[in-house]
Structure 1
Amino acid sequence: MFRSSILCGALLLLLAPAPAMAKKLDKAASPESSADVPADATGDAPAGDARPFIERSLVLAPEQVGEFVLQKANDYPGQPQSGVGLRYVHPDFPEVRLDLFVYPAGRLDRDAVVADAMAGLRASIEDAAKQGAYTDLVFGEETAFDLAQVDPEDGSLRPAAAADTDDKADKDALVAQVIGAVPESVEGRGRRLPMSLRFQGEAQNSLAFLFYRGLYLYKGRVSASPQHVADENFQRLANLAMLTLVPAVQVRSTGACHDRQIVVDVGDGSQASTRTLGQTLMAAAGRATSENCAETLDETVPEGHRAVPLAFDPSMWN
Structure 2
Amino acid sequence: MTQKIAILGASGYTGAELVRLIATHPEMEVAALSGNSKAGMSMAEVFPHLRHLDLPRLTTIDEVDFKGIDLAFCALPHATSQAVIRALPEDLRIVDLSADFRLRDPHQYRIWYGKDHAAPELQQEAVYGLTEFYRDEIRGARLIAGTGCNAATGQYALRPLIEAGVIDLDRIVIDLKAAVSGAGRSLKENLLHAELSEGAHGYAVGGGHRHQAEFEQEFSRAAGRPVQIQFTPHLIPANRGILATVYVDGDSDAIHGALSARYAEEEFIVMLPEGEHPSIRHIRGSNYCHIGVVPDRIEGRTIVIATLDNLTKGSSGQAIQNANLMLGNDEGAGLRLAPVFP
Same fold (TM over 0.5): no
Q: Which has the higher helix share?
A: 2
Report which structure shows greater RCO (CA 8 Å, sep ≥6): 1
TM-score bracket for the superposition, by shorter chain length: under 0.3
TM-score (norm 1): 0.28
TM-score (norm 2): 0.26
Structure showing greater Rg: 1
